[in-house]
Amino acid sequence: MRPLAFALSATCFWGAGPAIAGNEEHLIQLLESRQCRSCQLNDVDLTHADLRDADLNGAHLQRANLSQARLDGADLSGSDLSFTSLQGASLRGTDLRNSRLIGTDLRRTDLTGALLDPKALDQSHWDGARGVSQGARSHAGLHNAGVNAAQAGRWPAAEQLFNAAIKAAPEEPLSWVARGLSRGEQGKDDLASRDLAHAGQLFAEQGDMVKADQLKEASQLVYDTTNKTGVQSGNGIGSVLLSSALSTAQAIAPIALKALMPMLP
């Protein structure tokens, strides 16, 4: 248990001002006992706070600042963390089931072993988060994160995100196209060719023979370019595809990178 003096010193986090965000009694209760179910703690600043194993079931923490906080093993189930900053926080083994994570900043957090609902992170920001459980991010969320990485030129990161998107929805051809382009940008021409070919097969199964034929043509172009020269393209068959007059690049690449836009991470 922490001394009351320490708990009261936490009010300095808000700086000077006529009012303290949240409920001061609830804050003191939390810092003294680490138990504060259904507490009103919206807008509080608990940067770097040590709240390991804290019981915050059902707590109201909207817009709170918990950046760099240690919340390992804490119970945050049923809590409202809308627009809360948890950037860089440690959430190892934290229970986040049934919590609201709308606009929540989870960038660079450690979520190893954290309990999350399916697609729980779809409306949050999680770039750089570690240990995210499978299913916590939807196919669209993963694909869109790959789009962001691709647009920033971070092709290895884009490839990994499209990998995860494909695992979440292997029947979606757009992610196969996008991963193929990402691989092509890294000079992985053989893998890029395979991805484009498989995407074409998926489009064919969906009855879209125009895209299927375009992707077959693009896949063959990548394959021929590599095998005729005997040299990998190095800095980007993806660039060749994206900038050439080939109809596939013009018709498919923009779709692959921009079609799935319900929520960006």
Residue 19 covered by a domain:
yes
Residue 249 covered by a domain:
yes
Number of helical H runs and strand E runs in the chain: 9, 0
Domain that holds residue 124: 1-136
Residue 15 covered by a domain:
yes
Looking at per-residue pLDDT, the higher value among 99 and 152 belongs to 99
38's tokens: 């259904």
pTM here is 0.66
Across 133-137, 139-143, 221-225, least confident range: 221-225
Domain's final residue, options 77, 103, 136: 136
Distance separating alpha carbons of residues 77 and 260, to the nearest angstrom:
30
- Say yes or no to pLDDT of 6 above 60: no
Looking at per-residue pLDDT, the higher value among 258 and 204 belongs to 204
Distance separating alpha carbons of residues 50 and 128, to the nearest angstrom:
22
Whether 59 and 170 map to the same domain: the answer is no
Distance separating alpha carbons of residues 30 and 51, to the nearest angstrom:
9
pLDDT in tens, 16-70: 333 345 688 999 999 999 999 999 999 999 999 999 999 999 999 999 999 999 9
Per-residue pLDDT, averaged over 246-264, amounts to 43
Looking at per-residue pLDDT, the higher value among 108 and 242 belongs to 108
Whether 126 and 9 map to the same domain: the answer is yes
Residue with tokens 């918990």: 66
Whether 36 and 101 map to the same domain: the answer is yes
Domain's final residue, options 88, 105, 136: 136
Residue 188 covered by a domain:
yes
Read off the pLDDT band of 247 (50, 70, 90): very low
Residue 265 covered by a domain:
no
- Domain CATH number, residue 121: 2.160.20.80
44's tokens: 């509080």
Q: How many domains does the chain have?
A: 2
Whether 171 and 88 map to the same domain: the answer is no
Per-residue pLDDT, averaged over 116-140, amounts to 89
**What's residue 237's pLDDT?**
54
User: Residues 6 or more apart from 74 whose CB is under 8 A from it?
Assistant: 51, 52, 53, 54, 55, 56, 91, 94, 95
- Say yes or no to pLDDT of 94 above 90: yes
Distance separating alpha carbons of residues 106 and 111, to the nearest angstrom:
9
**What's residue 5's pLDDT?**
32
- Say yes or no to pLDDT of 81 above 90: yes
Which amino acid is present at 218?
A
Whether 118 and 215 map to the same domain: the answer is no
**What's residue 211's pLDDT?**
84
Domain's final residue, options 117, 136, 155: 136
Whether 44 and 155 map to the same domain: the answer is no
